[in-house]
């Protein structure tokens, strides 16, 4: 099929794929998304104030050959080298483990992916080309990403991770309880589940040049990767990856205090906690810049009033709004 502006990716799904699907959080992919915002490759959106606060650090890092070469590879609507952001293995993966995978990339693979990444782009300057052709380019990029993580993202990671964990809990519950439609319904206006024909499929509409594609999960499930810094939905459909959807996490733009009358009734902090759920006490502390003890006191008060309830998941307790809490905030449960 000829290439055109505007095309569709179809991912066929079956009943087994619901059970096989899983969620992952990747500090490395989050670092890459943050660099895309700071480089201007992606718009900052609601993260504009955060991006402005990191600009000076980014400009300093950009003077290093590794960062300049990495940013040269950033593309929208086209292939980006896979080895710089390998698929995460779970929700608690450490960035050191992810960087070790990058460092272990065989030179031939790294150079092949870089060549594919550069296809159709203007030739990079000689100093950038020299970095990209180094036999240890994977090591160079890993060191670059490690510095970017340490200086740009790590200071904000507790809050970012709390947002990501909350999204995982919410969306995994929807997928397990209600199936594909509920899990996908607010990912993006460009994504929808089509069930009018067999097999059912996820349809992702693209707005850049490309050719229609059809892929089949075949019982392998889908890997969901939420992102705070990611500004759009991306489909990872390379054979080297688990089939995955990266998408903006829910609740990135939720302010600590709401503008509603509920804050005047029970206080801004308790109103913000109600709107931020589901979350654990530790996540609420990170999200709302509270001490864990302070968040626990507010949670206890809300629980005593019958507005929230808790469910133990491992060592933590995940809090949800009760029916009374839902009625009190006056929103649909997912509008926060």
Q: How far is CA 309 from CA 94, 282, 325, in A?
A: 31, 16, 10
- Given this model, what pLDDT does residue 320 score? 83
Residue 157 phi, psi (nearest 5): -65, -40
Instruction: State pTM to two decimals.
Output: 0.77
Task: State the Cα–Cα distance between residues 108 and 113, nearest whole angstrom.
Answer: 9
The alpha carbon dihedral of 194, 196, 201, 205 has a sign of: negative
Q: Angle CA(87)–CA(93)–CA(95) in degrees, nearest 5?
A: 85
Task: State the Cα–Cα distance between residues 33 and 35, nearest whole angstrom.
Answer: 5
Q: What b/e string do you get for 291-324 counting C-beta neighbours within 10 Å, with b at 16 or more? A: eeeebbebbeebbeeebbbeeeeeeebbbbbbee
Residue whose entry in the numeric block shows the structure tokens 């067999």: 198
Task: State the Cα–Cα distance between residues 164 and 227, nearest whole angstrom.
Answer: 7
* Least confident window among 223-227, 252-256, 283-287, 324-328: 252-256
CB 31 within 8 A of CB 96: no
Per residue in 123-168, pLDDT tens?
999 999 999 999 999 999 999 999 999 999 999 898 898 889 888 8
Q: How far is CA 226 from CA 171, 185, 214, 219, 273, in A?
A: 10, 15, 23, 22, 21
Overall average pLDDT of the 2-25 stretch: 79
Instruction: Give the residues across from 245 on adjacent strands.
Output: 224, 235
Local structure of residue 215 (DSSP, 8 states): E
- 23's enclosing H/E stretch is strand 22-23
Task: State the Cα–Cα distance between residues 166 and 336, nearest whole angstrom.
Answer: 12
- Given this model, what pLDDT does residue 191 score? 86
Query: CB within 8 A of 284, min separation 6: which ones?
Result: 162, 273, 276, 290, 295, 298, 299, 319
Per residue in 30-72, pLDDT tens?
999 999 999 998 888 888 999 999 999 999 999 999 999 999 9
């Amino acid at each position: 099929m000829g290439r055109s502006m505007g095309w569709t990716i179809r991912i066929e799904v079956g009943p087994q794929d619901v059970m096989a699907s899983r969620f992952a959080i990747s500090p490395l992919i989050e670092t890459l998304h943050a660099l895309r915002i700071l480089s201007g490759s992606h718009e900052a959106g609601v993260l504009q104030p955060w991006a402005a606060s990191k600009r000076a650090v980014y400009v300093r890092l950009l003077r290093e050959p590794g960062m300049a070469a990495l940013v040269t590879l950033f593309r929208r609507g086209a292939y980006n080298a896979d080895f710089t952001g390998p698929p995460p293995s779970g929700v608690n993966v450490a960035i050191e483990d992810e960087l070790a995978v990058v460092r272990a990339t065989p030179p031939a693979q790294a150079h092949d992916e870089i060549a594919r990444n550069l296809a159709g782009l203007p030739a990079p300057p000689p100093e950038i080309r020299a970095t990209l052709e180094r036999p240890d380019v994977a090591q160079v990029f890993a060191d670059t990403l490690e510095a970017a993580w340490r200086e740009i993202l790590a200071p904000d990671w507790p809050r970012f991770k709390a947002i990501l964990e909350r999204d995982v809990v919410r969306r995994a519950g929807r997928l397990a309880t209600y199936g594909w439609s509920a899990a996908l319904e607010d990912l993006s206006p460009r994504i929808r589940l089509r069930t009018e024909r067999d097999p059912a499929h996820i349809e992702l509409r693209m707005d850049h040049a490309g050719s229609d594609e059809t892929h089949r999960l075949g019982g392998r499930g889908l890997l969901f990767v939420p992102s705070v810094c990611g500004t759009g939905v991306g489909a990872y459909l390379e054979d080297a990856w688990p089939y995955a959807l990266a998408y903006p996490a829910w609740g990135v733009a939720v302010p600590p205090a709401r503008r509603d009358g509920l804050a005047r009734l029970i206080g801004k902090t308790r109103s913000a906690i109600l709107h931020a759920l589901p979350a654990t006490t530790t996540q609420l502390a990170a999200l709302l810049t509270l001490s864990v003890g302070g968040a626990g006191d507010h949670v206890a008060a809300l629980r005593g009033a019958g507005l929230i309830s808790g469910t133990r998941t491992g060592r933590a307790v995940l809090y949800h709004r009760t029916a009374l809490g839902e009625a009190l905030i006056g929103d649909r449960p997912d509008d926060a």
